[in-house]
Amino acid sequence: MVLATNSDSEEHLHSTFASRYVRAVVPRFKMPDNSMPKDAAYQVISDELMLDGNPRLNLASFVTTWMEPECDKLIMDSVNKNYVDMDEYPVTTELQNRCVNMIANLFHSPVGEDEAAIGCGTVGSSEAIMLAGLAFKRKWQQRRRAQGLSTDKPNIVTGANVQVCWEKFARYFEVELKEVKLSEDYYVMDPAKAVEMVDENTICVAAILGSTLTGEFEDVKLLNDLLAEKNAETGWDTPIHVDAASGGFIAPFLYPDLEWDFRLPWVKSINVSGHKYGLVYAGVGWIIWRTKDDLPEDLVFHINYLGADQPTFTLNFSKGSSQIIAQYYQFIRLGFGGYKNIMENCMDNARRLKEGIEMTGKFNILSKDIGVPLVAFSLKDSSKHTVFEIAESLRKFGWIIPAYTMPADAQHIAVLRVVIREDFSRGLADRLITHIIQVLKEIEGLPSRVAHLAAAATVSGGEVKTAKMSLEDITKYWKRLVEHKRNIVC
């Protein structure tokens, strides 16, 4: 028998927006004392999340934002499987091993037909790169110790265009990062300069297939040939790692003749993001080593499962199984032909966008035609308005397009970058072009922000500034603005 008491007893009858839960302050710093009904909790959170950007309009990111409903179903079905329980979920473990083998084969790994490839699934390319770097560091240390030489100053040679995870690796694992600086019009690592920088303490040279900023492929073959020469002279045996986070699932399908992978003898490990052009949601990456020798045994932990030995070498332990299963789904669902079709579509749409942007006559295109499908462009004339303003204005239409400054020594160049993902159709490309044109018109009508600030500077403070001082102020303000906006994205 339900006693009718105060109004609280009818709480459970209230529709969510009639209940008291939408009147209460959302807990921010402290756990609330009492529970709340699940529908209220769902609604409150869902409503706040409405104010996040729309993932599919997020043109800043390479990371996949759409998968087929069948795959969504598989993902939800396995969301409660802890990947690391290999004993309990042997099939999921087997699926990971199959993915590793498939990717190793895609990269022309020298393992035989029935041999298992050396590699593993990770949470992303960051973890993959740290594992690769650890392997190089350990191998280099072993070699140096055997020669009786010091092991306290390892370094790694890369371009200044590396993604932030290399800087993290360097800082956390105490390896010096020697960066080959960029220059205007040359936004990737110069192989000749890189090889010059190699010394006896270099644990590896890292080349990028698909530079974050312009999508370009670095010339890994040239690097390999130059390094082979240097290694023959010095005997240091410096290896190469290819960071193919974005390019690893583009090159094999669009540029199969481009030699960048294990076909080059000095390439000892490659990482690729499953969640970029591997076409899986965020949370999966892959690292493949050339042979067993390239992964020092003392870094591998052996776990006993089903009576057989399962070696593991990852930084993360418990994690979801969904993305691994999703990756396998994509491999068998699409096959080589399917991936090729998708990448060709992306390139087509990238070309269309590039042409549309070029036709406005206001932009320089920095991205190359060969590379990852993205369009990076900068304003021909930045004196009155900047790409940052354009990015802000485009947000009004819902587009999220980031603006960046290039790394050293090209910091004065600022670009807008649009990444073409699988789900960026031709229709969306045309609409984006229309909006860019609209934004340009609007901005031209506005007074220049830079000039506006100069005017403000001369009026405030009661001082009368000279023309030169105003110019200095403007330059300083501009520099600060540009520096602050240096974005680290993937």
Contacting another protein within 332-371 (CB under 8 A) = 332-339
Q: Which of residues 17-36 bind another protein (CB under 8 A)?
A: 26-36
Among 22, 74, 428, 474, binds another protein (CB under 8 A): 74
Interface stretch with another protein, choices 223-231, 325-333, 358-366, 449-457 (CB under 8 A): 325-333
Q: Which of residues 243-282 bind another protein (CB under 8 A)?
A: 273, 275, 281-282
Distance CA 465, CA 200 (A): 55
Among 299, 370, 428, 437, binds another protein (CB under 8 A): 299
Two tokens, residue 247: 């390019």
Half-sphere exposure of 376 (CA within 13 A, CB side): 24
Among 19, 107, 120, 125, binds another protein (CB under 8 A): 125
Check residue 75 for interaction with another protein (CB under 8 A). yes
Among 18, 41, 149, 451, binds another protein (CB under 8 A): 41
Distance CA 325, CA 318 (A): 15
Among 127, 243, 261, 294, binds another protein (CB under 8 A): 127
Number of residues interacting with another protein: please give it, by CB under 8 A: 121
Among 134, 288, 357, 450, binds another protein (CB under 8 A): 134
Nearer to another protein, 112 or 462 (CB): 112
Distance CA 347, CA 343 (A): 6
Check residue 56 for interaction with another protein (CB under 8 A). yes
Nearer to another protein, 297 or 355 (CB): 297
Check residue 60 for interaction with another protein (CB under 8 A). yes
Question: 88: Cβ–Cβ under 8 A, 6 or more apart, which residues?
Answer: none
Percentage helix, strand, coil for the chain under 3-state DSSP, each rounded to 5: 45, 15, 40
The residue to which tokens 């698909």 are assigned: 210
Among 16, 58, 291, 382, binds another protein (CB under 8 A): 58
DSSP for 229-276, written as a single string: HHHHHH-----EEEE-TTGGGTHHHH-TT---STTSTTEEEEEEETTT
Two tokens, residue 391: 């990015």
Q: How far is the CB of 333 from another protein (least distance, A)?
A: 4
Q: How far is the CB of 441 from another protein (least distance, A)?
A: 26
Interface stretch with another protein, choices 38-46, 201-209, 222-230, 444-452 (CB under 8 A): 38-46
The residue to which tokens 């000892």 are assigned: 268
Neighbours of 25 (CB within 10 A): 6
- Cβ atoms of 58 and 401 within 8 Å: the answer is no
Nearer to another protein, 266 or 281 (CB): 281
Check residue 331 for interaction with another protein (CB under 8 A). yes
Check residue 453 for interaction with another protein (CB under 8 A). no
Nearer to another protein, 304 or 360 (CB): 304
Q: Residues 76-105: x/- map of binding to another protein (CB under 8 A)? A: xxxxxxxxxx-xxxxxx--x--x--xx--x
Check residue 15 for interaction with another protein (CB under 8 A). no
Element (H, E) at 105: helix 90-106
Q: Which of residues 149-178 bind another protein (CB under 8 A)?
A: 152, 164-165, 167-168, 171-173
Nearer to another protein, 12 or 28 (CB): 28
Among 108, 200, 283, 469, binds another protein (CB under 8 A): 283
Q: Which of residues 370-429 bind another protein (CB under 8 A)?
A: 400, 402
154-to-130, 198, 213, 465 alpha-carbon distances in Å: 15, 11, 27, 52
Instruction: Identify the three-state secondary structure at position 97.
Output: helix
Question: 200: Cβ–Cβ under 8 A, 6 or more apart, which residues?
Answer: 149, 234, 236
Nearest one of 136, 128, 188 to 158, comparing CA atoms: 188
Check residue 55 for interaction with another protein (CB under 8 A). yes
Interface stretch with another protein, choices 69-77, 213-221, 363-371, 377-385 (CB under 8 A): 69-77
Distance CA 119, CA 152 (A): 28
Among 19, 119, 121, 124, binds another protein (CB under 8 A): 124
Determine the distance from the C-alpha atom of residue 459 to the mean position of all C-alpha atoms in its chain, rounded to a whole number: 45
Check residue 38 for interaction with another protein (CB under 8 A). yes
289-301 burial, b at 16+ Cβ within 10 Å, e below that, comes to bbeeebbbeeeee
Q: How far is the CB of 242 from another protein (least distance, A)?
A: 18
